[in-house]
A and B are shown apart, each in its own frame.
Chain A
Amino acid sequence: MPEHQSHSYCLKAPPPASRIEEEMYKGQSGMWSWLFHRISGLGILLFLFIHIVDVSMLSFGPGVYNQSVVLFDYVVVRLLSLALVIAVLYHTFNGIRIMAIDFWRKGSRYQRAMFGIVLAATIIVFIPMAYYIMGPAFQWLTQAPHAATTGH
């Protein structure tokens, strides 16, 4: 083989930088449980700040408070409330899972099964709560048209 051919790989130009892409580590259920736990925790913290503000409206009297909590009647805010409920439920059940992993000798061995239980429990408890949160937003479906327009 001629010399220039045997060393041809040294002359290969660097490919364009646009071909770089980062790929996420393919962690299994444990990584997702941790990631959801973090995100739900931050979400709940965010709600805590909103909650402090809305409750503090009481100090301005019942009129101001009643006006401010009307915010929670908006469909968008009801949807955000659903997200909050999911976050609280998941964070609670997964918190119990984490404590079981920490304090129960066999906790690590059953962590995957416990993650399944956490998800199932979250969904089961979420459904009735979602019904009560979203129900009033869909009253216009079950009521006569004039009742919906005079709702507030």
Chain B
Amino acid sequence: MNILIRIKRFDPERDSKPYWDEFRVEADPIDRLLDTLNTIKWTMDGTLTFRRSCAHGVCGSDAMRINGRNRLACKVLMRDVGNKVTIEPMLGYAVIKDLVVDMDRFFEKYRSVKPFLITYDNEPGTERLQSQAQREVYDEGTKCILCGACTGSCPSIWGNPDWVGPASIVNAHRFIFDSRDQGAAERLQLLSRKDGVWRCRTIFNCADACPRGIPVTDLIEQVKRAIVYGGPEEA
């Protein structure tokens, strides 16, 4: 199939503003969009810049705005995008070049919610046991690959770049609701501040954008309820 690809490009060394570039590419319906971007980069225009690493939907490098929605280029098939594809860098991040956005603040916010196991008891002699039901409670959050698609789809972030954002809350949820973790109170305290969970307006763009199918808004709502009710709900 012959496809017209429009890409919003920006080279800070040359352009004062972003501009639309167009490429006509021959692609197989079961090619991924990432393959097509590689075709452009390798055979048509080597200056086209985008991130990709694993190319199999696990590393989360190639999140971009495809036909108006945040998606991973490696998880989108050509047959699903139509004959005319629009590709833009994600909103809510500063564009470094073409489709590459600055993720520094994203990871800064991610680290701010303490996304690691916190324990205060003496270390147990055996492993920290957990029932299947207890594991199930935070299962969705463990699927996050930190691609930033949810945060880049969130109008609250577009309006207020200081907001902690959905991805950070998902990763806070993963530990707040982990029965082995003892840092729930401090994380909930961090998230109840001005730029914490309350800037979520339940818009659900994040849940739609997540390439891992995480019900992001639902997890944020669970964290909100944990703050209101003074702790995570039991399994």
Contacts and interface: CB of A to CB of B under 8 A. Distances in A.
Q: Is B a genuine binding partner of A?
A: yes
Interface string B199-235: 0011111011000000101100100110000000000
B62 interface: no
A22 B46 CA distance: 25
A95 to B, nearest CB: 12
A10 B91 CA distance: 27
Contacts of A31: 155, 203-205
B205 A109 contact: no
B20 interface: yes
Contacts, number: 84
A83 B160 CA distance: 30
A73 interface: no
Contact of B202 (A9, A14, A98): A98
B19 A17 contact: yes
Query: How big is chain A's contact interface, by range?
Result: 20 to 34
Nearest to B152: A25
B65 interface: yes
A101 B19 contact: no
B17 A17 contact: yes
Contacts of A140: none
Contact of B217 (A14, A17, A108): A108
Interface string A11-47: 0001111011101111111110110000000000000
B68 A14 contact: no
A34 B68 contact: no
Contacts of B47: 9-10
A27 B203 contact: yes
Nearest to B91: A25
Interface string B84-105: 0010100100000000000000
B157 to A, nearest CB: 11
A17 B20 CA distance: 9
B69 A25 contact: yes
B16 interface: yes
Contact of B14 (A14, A17, A25, A27): A14
Given A9-B46, A26-B68, A30-B208, A111 B19 contact: no
A131 interface: no
Nearest to B202: A101
Nearest to B18: A20
Given A24-B68, A25-B68, A26-B67, A34 B201 contact: yes
A148 B20 CA distance: 59
Interface in B37-94: 45-47, 65, 67-69, 86, 88, 91
Interface of A: 9-10, 14-17, 19-21, 23-31, 33-34, 98, 101-103, 107-109, 111
Given A14-B19, A26-B67, 10 more contacts: A10-B47, A20-B17, A25-B91, A25-B205, A30-B204, A30-B205, A103-B225, A108-B221, A109-B218, A111-B204
Which 3 pairs from chain A and chain B are nearest by CB? A30-B204, A26-B68, A108-B218
23 contacts: A14-B14, A15-B21, A17-B16, A17-B17, A19-B19, A24-B68, A25-B68, A25-B69, A25-B205, A26-B69, A27-B69, A27-B153, A27-B203, A27-B204, A28-B205, A31-B203, A31-B204, A102-B202, A103-B225, A108-B202, A108-B217, A108-B221, A111-B204
